[in-house]
Amino acid sequence: MLTNCLRCGSLFVQSGARNICPSCYQEEEGQYERVVTFLRKRENRTATMYEVVKKTNVPDLRIQQFIQQGRLLVAKFPNLGYPCLECGQSIREGKLCHNCAQQLKNDLEKHEIETKCQNERQDRLSTYRLKDK
């Protein structure tokens, strides 16, 4: 299937589930190898995200992508994390920290209760009366 690369926009023949052209794929793989090679060294295993970015010249968003894809296992690297989408606190999995996820859950439950109460009120008010002739 002929499609445009999601990164650079160039036209390429898509094979499999990969949404990027071969050139961008090679660049991404090179970045992954730089990060892995850096982190394999014993002295670098406790590096923070900032240190990995600084030493490898790989953008933090790309490193986050590797973590979220499961290509980098943060269990082996105790200081490697990325910011929560809501508050910015460093996390090691998902998109939200525990506190923000709990707050979102509470807000959704509250909204559900409010919606249910509002629907019940509308049901009570929508009683039809027939006019006497």
| pLDDT tens string 17-54 | 888 999 999 999 999 999 999 999 999 999 999 999 99
Overall number of domains in the chain? 1
Identify the helix (H) or strand (E) that includes residue 107: helix 98-125
Res 131: pLDDT:
61
CA-nearest of 93, 85, 90, 29 to 62 is: 29
Any domain includes 48: yes
Any domain includes 19: yes
Res 15: pLDDT:
81
Any domain includes 131: no
Any domain includes 52: yes
When pLDDT is averaged across residues 69-96 and rounded to a whole number, the result is 87
| The two three-digit tokens of residue 70, written as one number | 């499961």
Res 93: pLDDT:
83
Residue 50 structural domain: 2-125
**For the whole prediction, is pTM greater than 0.75?**
no
CA-nearest of 68, 81, 65 to 20 is: 65
Better-scored residue on pLDDT, 108 or 129: 108
Any domain includes 17: yes
Q: Show the beta-strand stretches assigned E in the chain.
A: 2-4, 11-13, 82-83, 90-91
* Separation CA 128–CA 47 (nearest Å): 70
Any domain includes 119: yes
Q: Which band of pLDDT confidence, cut at 50, 70 and 90, is reported for residue 130?
A: low
When pLDDT is averaged across residues 53-63 and rounded to a whole number, the result is 94
Res 127: pLDDT:
59
**Side-chain half-sphere CA neighbours of 16 within 13 A:** 5
